[in-house]
Structure 1
């Protein structure tokens, strides 16, 4: 059992293909993003290795990489800890996300066909059902899928590449406020779908900018609870 414990079934199964260190890295990163491993939590190599069914070496390598990327803090004589994001770090990321996604919404309104609109509707329905079921993990996944598809509809490869670089961190920040945003977030998604369907580029851009700003504000106003 890890020092602070993990929810039942939270530890992902490692798929065999691919380098072991890469699979361990992806598994630990997913645990951090979903907050199964909480910000500030002590990460003990032997415990992580035991949960993942591997030796300590790939865990050590994964923690070093996660430290380089800012997900983990390695403290001399203390060990590894999940990074605790500052308000300023969150603000900077969410501002960049707003810029990228507002432009994606504008391009989606210019390019989207009926097939794309149908898919947006399906993703929105999935999110609404997840909210109704109070399934936070499903809400976060549906939200990520919806925004990723808007980005796909934009049809700009460079924009998509930049968005992909921030997507995982956005999920990390969104998880603690998913319940707080609730159905309102999906009502905003519905308004965005209408603007895209009407090919109203300016309105789609404005709605997405407002939507992402609501997420940023909610993060800063979130209720803090013990980890």
Structure 2
């Protein structure tokens, strides 16, 4: 799905956000066909969760989500079941479906694995990057800096993901790319609430990383990426809405 979705700001009488109240009156965001409907609906709901349009803890109502996406309830139900099996959604007996509330332990596990993979990725990229590769890295850096100047959280998250993905692509290691791809969506989910407060420091670190890769300094690239991913992990724990 390529279309952007509108925020869901309204809350129910208990203070819990609901899909129905916030989707009412909005223009339809119909999913595209003829892609397999269950996959399209799954991708649409996953993206709404990742970009936090559907926030952690939010109650998910099948009928309202189906109306919003312009589909029947069956593919929505199937998507929610799949999202539950992958840890994005909690299905509670007699209560319904809710966006999963990530724990600090889950964040540490994921971001720790990400740090190991990305640090190795930076080392390999520094060993083999060409002048053309470096040019592309600076182009991606520029996209991120423009998003930072515009204070655009969604663009910052996307630009961050694109830059890291390209560094992995430079390694030519298909297994490494596959493993990092498996955690990419969840990393974006954790990164969204800290993209703006982390922004300027993160993109300064990106610039230093690109310089190390351009110099083919594998030890320095590895060290910068290790520090970069650790600071992101710390920032997640220090975010304003973090539990005390």
TM-score grouping bracket, smaller chain normalisation:
over 0.9
8 A contact 2:111–2:187 mirrored in 1: yes
In the aligned structure 2, how far is the partner of 1:82 from the partner of 1:52?
Answer: 17
Counterpart Cα distance in 2 of 1:79 and 1:4: 17
CA distance in 2, matches of 1:36, 1:141: 15
User: Aligned residue for 2:118?
Assistant: 101
Deviation at 1:132, TM superposition (A): 0.6
Cα shift at 1:154: 1.2
RMSD (CA atoms): 1.8
Runs of 4+ deviating beyond 4 Å: 8-13
Residue 53 of structure 2 is aligned to residue 53 of structure 1: no
Give the Cα–Cα distance (whole angstroms) in 1 for the partners of residues 54 and 28 of structure 2. 10
1:124 is matched with: 141
Distance (Å, rounded) in 2 between the aligned partners of 1:202 and 1:5: 50
CA displacement at 1:16 relative to structure 2? 0.5
Match of 1:195 in 2: 212
Q: Unpaired runs of 5+ in structure 2?
A: 1-17
CA shift for structure 1 position 2: 1.7
Please say if 1:217 is aligned against 2:234: yes
- Superposition TM-score, scaled by structure 1 size: 0.95
* 1:145 corresponds to: 162
Q: Secondary structure at the match of 1:199?
A: coil
**Equivalent pairs, count:** 225
Question: Does the 8 Å contact 1:140/1:175 carry over to 2?
Answer: yes
| CA drift at 1:14 | 1.4
In the TM superposition, what is the alpha-carbon distance from 1:94 to its structure 2 partner? 0.2
The Cα shift of 1:5 comes to: 2.6
- Partner SS, residue 5 of structure 1: helix
**Separation in 2, partners of 1:157, 1:10:** 41
Please name the residue that 2:14 is paired with: none
Aligned equivalent of 2:152: 135
Query: Compared with structure 1, are the counterparts of its residues 207 and 13 closer, same or farther at alpha carbon in structure 2 (3 Å cutoff)?
Result: farther
Higher relative contact order (CA 8 A, sep 6+): 1
Question: Post-superposition shift, 1:11?
Answer: 7.7
Match in the other structure for 2:172: 155
Change (3 A) 1:47 1:180: same
